[in-house]
Amino acid sequence: MRSIPRAVRWLLVVVALLVGAAVAVPFLVPVSRFIPEITQSASGSIGQPVAIAGLTAKLLPTPRLVATGIRIGKKDEVVIGELEIVPELLSLLSGPRAIRLLRAEKVELKEAALSIPDRMPKTGGEPTQVRQVVLRDVRLQHSALKLPPLNIEVEMDSGQEFESARIDTSDGAFALLLTPDRAGKTTVKLEASGWRLPLAAAPLVFDSLKADGVLTGKRLELSNIDGRQYGGTLKASARVDWSKSWQVAGNAVLAGVDLAGAQRALGIDPRLSGRLGANAKIAATAKSPDQLANVLAVDGPFNVAEALYRGVDLTKVVDLTGSKGAGGSTRFDELRGVLQLRGKRVRINNLCAKSSALRAAGFVEVAPDQSLTGRLDISIAKTGGFANVPVALSGTRHDPIVRPTTGYTVGAVLGTVLLPGVGTALGGSAGAAAEGKAADCR
């Protein structure tokens, strides 16, 4: 057997020594003694208390520092399980200091952490350059947003401007790509599947969602939003501006959306079911993003195919002594109207509902406390279209009360007394005419 050449033997000895040193250095070099100095310097730089539980130095695969148990803020607004810092070795010899990789694992952010950058003191001197930032398992605790754990990767150039950024989830359900150009604009591409909208007030699930747009300063324009959810489709565009206050504006077209499924996702008992189509304009202005839902304005026409309303049978409302249709249901061949949403207040104008058994027209309003008001003019087929029955709505959205209006009831009673039978219908119609029509439904 041939012996190993002397040069190879020396190389193996050197490698063995390096490996041994890499294993021994974290124990021989007490880098943990620098923790007080590092935390004091970091606290001064960001204007927040900083604590580090552990600090070690490693040589392999490349020299780096690893810090564990990092806490930032008076109430631990930021918690980092592990932070790995990989320096550019040549920058340690000359030129500005640079970090090749900044990697953090298990990052927990409270809502208050988002305002820390705005309160950081201005510091002089040349900042340390960072080439790449990788954040894994980032969790944000927010009152208005319910985000899944995220992964974030950012590539930076020598001028500390980002070259690209990617935000995604570990399960591949969501991915957001940001790519800047030289004109100060950033291309935005979003793709998602089986993804839950992160708004606490509207946790809707999209089977698929794609969006393309441009970010310019503090203005985001999404010109093309294409989604599929609850058996239907969404085509939309949106604009968000937060240069002064938070402003949102856009348009959305829905087609074939399962209304019952969408309501269940929002935690609403689906009294009304069917396939929803709508063409809506959306607008909101607020001082902070968490306030947008409270001032959201949505306007536009809608229609519901194969509509069924559970809880009231409108064909029985002419029974002045009965249950007013409670506990039944009403099916419509056509249901349309104009939606007007203002925060948590919902109003439906120009409501028109048709079936072979009846026609109903009017308006419905649901207050923020879920109380129900409104009026419907109903023509029931069994009367041959002869009698118009105006009904008043009250109660709550969960427990609606539908009764003939006072004018109709008084007229019907008088007609019954004066001329039993046909007088009931004549008197009721006369009383309804005196009150006027709520709306037309043709």
3-class secondary-structure state, position 438: coil
Give the Cα separation of 237 and 223 in Å (integer).
Answer: 5
Count other C-beta atoms under 10 Å from residue 437's C-beta: 14
Least confident piece of the model among 57-61, 122-126, 249-253, 275-279: 122-126
Phi, psi of 84 (to 5 degrees): -110, 130
> Comparing C-alpha atoms, which of 166, 146, 143 is closest to residue 154?
166
Question: Nearest-CA neighbor of 375 among 407, 343, 344, 399?
Answer: 407
pLDDT for 411-437, tens place per residue? 333 333 333 333 334 334 434 443 445
Helix, strand, coil percentages (3-state) for the chain, rounded to 5, are 20, 50, 25
Over residues 19-71, the pLDDT tens digits come to 555 555 555 556 778 788 888 877 887 788 889 898 888 877 878 888 899 89
Mean pLDDT computed over every residue of the chain: 79
Q: Indicate the residue type of 47.
A: G
Whether the predicted pLDDT of 289 surpasses 90? no
Backbone torsions φ then ψ of 410, nearest 5 degrees:
-60, -45
With a CB cutoff of 8 Å and minimum separation 6, the contacts of 436 are none
Give how far the C-alpha of residue 317 lies from the chain's centroid of Cα atoms, to the nearest Å: 40
| Residue 340 pLDDT exceeds 90 | yes
22 backbone dihedrals φ, ψ, rounded to 5°:
-60, -35
pLDDT at 145 over 50: yes
Distance CA 236, CA 247 (A): 17
Of 57, 81, 56, the residue nearest 70 (C-alpha) = 81
Q: Which of 92-96, 136-140, 206-210, 279-283 comes out lowest in average pLDDT? A: 92-96
Q: Are 224 and 204 in contact (CB under 8 A)?
A: no
| Whole-number Å distance between alpha carbons of 139 and 116 | 16
What is the phi/psi pair of residue 375, to 5°?
Answer: -150, 140
What values do phi and psi take at 388, rounded to 5? -105, 125
Q: What does 195-253 look like in DSSP terms, one character per residue? A: EE--BTT---EEEEEEEEEEEETTEEEEEEEEEEETTEEEEEEEEEE-SSSEEEEEEEE
According to the model, what pLDDT value does residue 156 have? 82
Q: 205 - beta bridge partners?
A: 196
Taking a C-beta distance cutoff of 8 angstroms, is the pair 155, 164 a contact? yes
Q: Which amino acid is at 383?
A: T
Helices H, strands E: what count in the chain?
6, 24
Over its C-alpha atoms, the chain yields an Rg (Å, rounded) of 33
Q: Which residue has the higher pLDDT, 272 or 314?
A: 272
Largest CA distance in the chain: 127
- Mean pLDDT value across residues 328-342: 91
Residue with tokens 């935390």: 39
Alpha helices in 29-73 (DSSP H): 35-46
**DSSP codes of every residue in 105-145:** EEEEEEGGGGGHHHHPPP--SPPPEESEEEEEEEEEE-SSB
CB atoms within 10 A of CB 4: 10
Q: Which of 390, 299, 282 is nearest to 337 (CA)?
A: 299
Which 3 state secondary structure label does DSSP give 423? helix
pLDDT grade for 178, boundaries at 50, 70 and 90: very high
CB 366 within 8 A of CB 343: no
Backbone angles phi, psi at 306, to 5 degrees: 55, 45
Report in angstroms the alpha-carbon separations of 293 from 145, 205, 324: 11, 18, 36
Contact 188, 177 (CB under 8 A): yes
Assess whether pLDDT exceeds 50 at residue 409.
no
- Give the model's pLDDT for residue 432: 43
In this predicted structure, the answer to whether residue 196 has a pLDDT above a threshold of 80 is yes
Query: 168-177 long-range contacts, Cβ below 8 Å, gap at least 24?
Result: 170/137, 173/148, 174/148
Q: pTM of the predicted model, to two decimals?
A: 0.76
pLDDT surpassing 50 at residue 172: yes
pLDDT tops 90 at residue 338: yes
The amino acid at residue 63 is P
